[in-house]
Structures are given as structure tokens and as C-alpha cells.
């Protein structure tokens, strides 16, 4: 499939979206693998849905996909950048616990030579301390309940997240995150509002549309929120 238009569909709207795809393009053929479900309509429209909660069966894949998307879950959240971190726990769509921390890390300098090297080392030391604080928050809030979590929302700087998950005693969190790999959210500034919004980003179903699907879908999107069909 060529480079496609991408949308995120909220779980509550997924059934309506699937019905709309059929109404606009005709009953699609369905193909499955372990990570994606593809709808290929008679008019050439194609939609590829990411199976964010794992594989579905061939018996009734669309219904199973909707049921999985709508199922309430207990999720942890770990959003990290050098400047701040946000850790939380969600019960269904309610955030029950959270911890926000801000860190001081100097910006980059244009100075050269020895001064630049010394400045870079100081900046790295500050970043290490920031990651340690994020790890402490994850250790305090998430580690005690990790066995009861269905997944872990990750976001922020990929290196920062990796640094924290690589802390040896946080290995259970790394294992939990690996159940739903490759879904680190783009987060510019972990704070309370961003933490609250991370849930809807995480549970939305990613869909890729080819040009034939995109043209008619754009008309149907007028009644929906931007990016959340």
C-alpha cells in the first residue's frame, strides 16, 4: 500500500466508522495477520487497521475488534522528557493516580572546545538525574501494581523512556510495555493535561487509508473531531 492518509479512531466511534466505510465503498473483503486487519472494498478503497490489542479471529473479526477496543482496562502511563515526567494510572477512562515532576536541564550551547565538553558533561549529568527522578516515580506508583495493569502508555523522548525502562528493578514495566510494542506517543511537555490526554491517544485505533478511501472519508469526517473519526 503506497504512503497513506492516517487517522485515529476513538473506540466509541469505531463501529460507526466501520459501518460508514461499508456504506461508502461497498462490503469489503477482510484479510488478517497478527498486527493488522485490512478492508479492501469493491471500489478500490482500502483501510488498514492496526490491531493495538493483539490479534483477532477470522470468525467475526470486525465485531471482535470493536469489543476489544471498547473493553475497559487498567493502564499505567509513563511520559518522560529531560525537562519533566508524568506518571499515572487509569481505571477505564478515569485517571486515579498521577505524579508530575519537573527537572532543570541546561539548553545546548554554541561554545566550542573544552568549555563545550564540560558543558555537555554537566548537561548529561542533569539529564541522568532527571531520568532517575522519573524512575523513582515509576517505581513508587507503577511497580506495586504492575501485575494488575493491562498495558503501559509510553510517551516523550524515546531515549529518556528507554533509560528509565532499562533500570534493572523496573524490568517488570519493560516487560509490560513490550506487550504492545512500538507505540510511544509524541509528547513535547509531560504535564497533567498531557497525561490526561495520553489515554485517548493510546486507545484510539490507527487506520491507514489509500486515496480511494480518503476521498469519500473526508466528506464523512465533517461531523467528527479533527483526527478522531
Alpha helices in the chain (DSSP H): 11-25, 61-70, 113-141, 158-165, 171-178, 192-203, 211-220
Q: pLDDT of 66-125, one tens digit each?
A: 999 999 999 999 999 888 999 999 999 999 999 999 875 555 545 554 455 655 565 566
Q: pLDDT of 15-30, one tens digit each?
A: 999 999 999 999 999 9
Among 143, 171, 145, 150, smallest CA distance to 52 is for 150
Contact (Cβ atoms closer than 8 angstroms) between residue 152 and residue 177:
yes
User: Could you give all domains of the chain from N- to C-terminal order, each with its CATH number?
Assistant: 5-71+204-223 (3.30.160), 74-202 (3.30.420.60)
Contact (Cβ atoms closer than 8 angstroms) between residue 224 and residue 29:
no
Amino acid at each position: 500500500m503506497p504512503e497513506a492518509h492516517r487517522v485515529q479512531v476513538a473506540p466509541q466511534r469505531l463501529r460507526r466508522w466501520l459501518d460508514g466505510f461499508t456504506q461508502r465503498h461497498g462490503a469489503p473483503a477482510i484479510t488478517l495477520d497478527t498486527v493488522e486487519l485490512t478492508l479492501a472494498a469493491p471500489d478500490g478503497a482500502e483501510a488498514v487497521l492496526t490491531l493495538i490489542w493483539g490479534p483477532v479471529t477470522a470468525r467475526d473479526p470486525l465485531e471482535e475488534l470493536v469489543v476489544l477496543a471498547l473493553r475497559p482496562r487498567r493502564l499505567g502511563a509513563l511520559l518522560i522528557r529531560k525537562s519533566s515526567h508524568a506518571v499515572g494510572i487509569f481505571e477505564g477512562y478515569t485517571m486515579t493516580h498521577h505524579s508530575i515532576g519537573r527537572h532543570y536541564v541546561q539548553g545546548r550551547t554554541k561554545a566550542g572546545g573544552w568549555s563545550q565538553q564540560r558543558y555537555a558533561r554537566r548537561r548529561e549529568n542533569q539529564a541522568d538525574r532527571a531520568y532517575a527522578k522519573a524512575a523513582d516515580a515509576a517505581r513508587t506508583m507503577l511497580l506495586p501494581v504492575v501485575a494488575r495493569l493491562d498495558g503501559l502508555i509510553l510517551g516523550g523522548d524515546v531515549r529518556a523512556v528507554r533509560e528509565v525502562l532499562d533500570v534493572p528493578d523496573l524490568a517488570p514495566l519493560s516487560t509490560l510495555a513490550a506487550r504492545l510494542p512500538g507505540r510511544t506517543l509524541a509528547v513535547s511537555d509531560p504535564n497533567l493535561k498531557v497525561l490526561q490526554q495520553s489515554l485517548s491517544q493510546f486507545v484510539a485505533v490507527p487506520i491507514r487509508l489509500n486515496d480511494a478511501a480518503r476521498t469519500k472519508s473526508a466528506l464523512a469526517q465533517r461531523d467528527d473531531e479533527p483526527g478522531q473519526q
